[in-house]
Structure 1
Amino acid sequence: MSDIASSYWAAPPISRTIATAVFACSVAVYTGMISGYPFFFHYSTLLQFPPAVHRLVTSFLITGPNLSVIFESYFIYSYLSQLEKGNSKFSKKEDLIWYLMFVGGVIITLNQIFTGAGHYLPALLIAVCYTATQDKRGQTAHFYIVNVPAQTMPYCMLLLNMLLQGPSSFFVGLTGLVSAHLHDFLVRLYPEFGNGPNLIPTPGFLSYIVGTPRVQNTSYGQKFVPRSSGSRSGPLPDSWRSKGPGRRLG
């Protein structure tokens, strides 16, 4: 049991947290422990008082029924961990958080305009899958029991959604593909081929939130280290500290 716990806590924190929330919320809803109503989003819920802002997040936490609870929880962890651990576009945690906020916002907007759907995990899963597999062209990936080119994985998932759950699920998943394409264009394609800037840089406030406070493990427990404002420390100005070691007079 301790090995399982160690492996769990050693997993990438963002991926681990999201996958755990998806699995736990889905199990709780499908077993009747909690109501599924707070996990449904419609724009009108933001107009009530107080606004149901939490639905912007909870609408991404419910999988399909039955075995989909296991498979979709695993897939969201697998692809998110690939982005968190080994993708150059997400060198910092706040970059991945901003990516999730951006694609999530696009997914919600497109579905509210075109499909009317209120649950968005399938779309987010396809978006994350697309982003994770774009750097794996020429490699193969396992899609259930068959091997397919890695970059075709999101399209295979779209097709499977349509076959198992109908056209409505296909269009929900399509919004995830569009959101991932849009993010890739604004962050990578336009700067590389259009000689322009990154049009959606990670906001500075996210870097501040993620970096403050920082937790360090010590022999006597945990301590919080406030965010550093740079290399400068102490009350002396930089011009004083850059003059070398002090000398005693007299």
Structure 2
Amino acid sequence: MEFFWATPPVTRTLVATSVIMSALAHFGTIDIMKTIFIPEYIFTYRMVPQVWRLATSFLLTGPSFGILMDPYFLYTYSLALEKSGSKFRTSSDYSVFIVFVWAIIMPLAGLWLGWPFLMSSFLMALAYTYAQEDPNRQVNYFIVTLSAKYIIYAQLIVTCIATGGYYHAFVQATGIPAAHLYLFLTKYWPEYGGGTHWIFTPNFLRQYLDAPAGTGVNRGAGTAFPARNAGGAQAGRGGGWTSAFSAGGGTWNQRGPGRRLGD
């Protein structure tokens, strides 16, 4: 239990849900047809929409050997991204990434290609993002050691061999454009293209998933401290340093005129 609660919140929720639900589904305790992506049961006006499929279809593992390997890769990639990934400052930012890639994979793999099991695409999105952190890092993939940038190709090759065709690899590959689009909209376009950063993290996710302001969170590059809520430090962003002391109130609560270096 200590190990479980020490795992970041998003990763432990994904892995625990995937393991429990997949075990129940593959051993016949629950109907597997109630968990997969079937558009007619989700986007419908003739019955109550079964909206849980929007999440369960991404967390249902493959049968037999997949019950072990899919959660393993989910834990490995997700933990590395949530805990040490440079692209996600907090768990709430990482949760937005997951919702975004699900929203892109769904129309590609689920609607366009008509495949109801979407976990392989989700794992590919995680692997692609994981590889972007350090493309030349050496990682183990089964019994082979290779650079992180080749993980996605190794996964596609294994899928082709295991399924005997290219269709499942094509479905799996839909995770690549989903993950790349997120990186483009949050990094490349705002930083290098001068565009607007359209993807943001809602405050309710920050309050629910992130540590309180001022609490250190261990990450790969050191200890991160979550920002304060609006009205605190973030409220003054872009307006200069607070530099005038109020004698009556006894607090620093105004902005000074600013001084040019050397004046």
Alpha-carbon distance in structure 2 between the residues aligned to 1:89 and 1:144: 26
Structure 1 residue aligned with 2:53: 55
- The partner residue of 2:102 within 94, 101, 104 is 104
Structure 1 residue aligned with 2:36: 40
Query: SS of the counterpart of 2:58?
Result: coil
Structure 2 residue aligned with 1:130: 128
Q: AA paired with 1:87?
A: G
Return 5+ residue gaps in structure 2 as ranges.
214-227, 234-244, 252-263
Query: SS of the counterpart of 2:59?
Result: coil
Instruction: Say if 2:110 and 2:118, in contact at 8 Å, map to a contact too.
Output: no
Alpha-carbon distance in structure 1 between the residues aligned to 2:72 and 2:22: 13
Alpha-carbon distance in structure 2 between the residues aligned to 1:114 and 1:49: 23
Report the CA distance shift for 1:241/1:128 in structure 2 as closer, same or farther (over 3 A).
farther
Alpha-carbon distance in structure 2 between the residues aligned to 1:231 and 1:192: 26
Report the CA distance shift for 1:96/1:17 in structure 2 as closer, same or farther (over 3 A).
same
Tell me how far 1:230 sits from its aligned partner: 3.9
The number of residue pairs the alignment matches comes to 224
Tell me how far 1:21 sits from its aligned partner: 1.1
Report the CA distance shift for 1:112/1:8 in structure 2 as closer, same or farther (over 3 A).
closer
Structure 2 residue aligned with 1:8: 4
Alpha-carbon distance in structure 2 between the residues aligned to 1:22 and 1:113: 22
Cα RMSD (Å): 2.6
Query: SS of the counterpart of 2:201?
Result: coil
- TM-score, with length taken from structure 1: 0.81
Report the CA distance shift for 1:189/1:29 in structure 2 as closer, same or farther (over 3 A).
same
User: In the TM superposition, what are the counterparts of 1:1-250 in structure 2 within 5 Å?
Assistant: 5-46=1-42, 47=44, 48-165=46-163, 166-210=165-209, 230-231=231-232, 242-243=249-250
- TM-score, with length taken from structure 2: 0.77
- C-alpha distance after superposition, 1:41-87 (max 9, x if no partner): 12221204211111101111211111111111011011000111111
Alpha-carbon distance in structure 1 between the residues aligned to 2:174 and 2:247: 56
- C-alpha distance after superposition, 1:82-103 (max 9, x if no partner): 1111112211221111100000
**106-115 vs 50-59, greater mean Cα deviation:** 106-115
Tell me how far 1:143 sits from its aligned partner: 0.9
Report the CA distance shift for 1:16/1:161 in structure 2 as closer, same or farther (over 3 A).
same
Return 5+ residue gaps in structure 1 as ranges.
215-226, 233-237, 245-250
% of aligned pairs identical?
A: 31
Tell me how far 1:192 sits from its aligned partner: 2.4
Higher relative helix content = 1
Q: AA paired with 2:128?
A: Y
Alpha-carbon distance in structure 2 between the residues aligned to 1:139 and 1:69: 27
Query: SS of the counterpart of 2:174?
Result: helix
Alpha-carbon distance in structure 1 between the residues aligned to 2:249 and 2:146: 58
Alpha-carbon distance in structure 2 between the residues aligned to 1:132 and 1:201: 21
Query: SS of the counterpart of 2:5?
Result: helix
Report the CA distance shift for 1:242/1:7 in structure 2 as closer, same or farther (over 3 A).
same
Instruction: Say if 1:39 and 1:119, in contact at 8 Å, map to a contact too.
Output: no
Query: SS of the counterpart of 2:60?
Result: coil
Tell me how far 1:22 sits from its aligned partner: 0.9
